[in-house]
Amino acid sequence: MRMSRKNDIVLFVIMVSFWALNYPLVKFALNYVDSFTLLFYRILISLVGVLIIFNRKLRFNIRRNEIIPLFILSMLNVFIFMELWFIAETTISSSLSAILIYTYPVISTLLSIIFLKESYNRYVILGIILGFSGVIVIFFHGLISGLGIGVLIAFLGSVSWASGTIYYKKYLGGTERETTNFYQFAFAIVPALMVAGVFQPNITLFEPNLTFLIIVIIIGFPGTAIAYYAFLHLNREYRVSTISSFLFLVPALSVIFSIFLLNEIPSVYEIAGLLLVSIGIIFSAKGINK
């Protein structure tokens, strides 16, 4: 199913633009706080943002059989995924982090075949092979550059996010988007605070720098609260493979943002990996049949 509706196209453009901008902004934010504190504030701002924007549409009395699925989604889609991403970005460039995280569409396509029983053809197999070839190229470069751990952590973050997407589609597709978006942050806020408290066990956790606050508000409000609503909406309205086929735009834009904002010039290996992953995304998603 093609994204032809005007509102959905607008949502997609907003989602892609802010997700691409998030990667260099995270790098800026990590100059002020550790990755665990950043996660706590991102979730906090996102939660407040969802409450402000979607308050009238939220359903707070969730059913008992929704609690565990929403908690699992929260861990996969928010807590684990974002923390792995932030940890990775303390050791590798923001552009490299974006490229690795956005192997997510290739992984989610593979998982959608296994768990959602989406049919496929030879183009899907080719796309998956190309996508993972890009990861291998980047991982090889990471090993010889001493960045292997950061590359691996970012890739594991991608696996967590892809797993969360499939889990949402399979078990929570019928739950209201606004409610799902709210609870995936609500369930993650306490674990995030506990972990941040362990690594920043003093009052400075609650005395953030003003510049950091401005950055994290951009990351947490349009870059997370609104963008995740768009993501959940689009994944409910369209097939996972349809949305995934366009997500190569995020790392491509993120590389451009990182060049201008951080003066990060991607290596030949990173560009090669990005091209392989992007082609893999297109093939693996477009090759899936109804």
Name the residue ranges covered by the structural domains of the chain. Answer: 19-54+63-286
102 close to 158: Cβ distance less than 8 angstroms: yes
Residue 24 host element (H or E): helix 6-29
Joined tokens for residue 229:
């609503």
- Cα–Cα distances (Å) from 164 to 44, 120, 224, 282, in that order, read 20, 21, 15, 21
Nearest to residue 214, comparing CAs of 28, 66, 49? Answer: 28
3-state secondary structure at position 266: coil
| Integer Cα distance of 185 and 49 in angstroms | 10
Q: Which amino acid is at 135?
A: V
Nearest to residue 124, comparing CAs of 283, 290, 279? Answer: 283
Beta carbons within 8 Å of 188's beta carbon, 6+ residues apart:
43, 74, 75, 78, 79
At 289 the pLDDT is: 52
101 close to 87: Cβ distance less than 8 angstroms: no
At 204 the pLDDT is: 60
At 2 the pLDDT is: 46
Beta carbons within 8 Å of 103's beta carbon, 6+ residues apart:
131, 132, 134, 135, 155, 158, 277
| Integer Cα distance of 168 and 66 in angstroms | 11
Q: Which amino acid is at 129?
A: I
Average pLDDT per block of 10 residues along the chain, 290 residues long: 69 93 96 92 94 87 91 97 97 93 88 84 87 90 85 96 92 87 95 86 68 94 89 78 79 94 92 92 69
At 237 the pLDDT is: 79
Residue the block writes with tokens 């453009």: 13
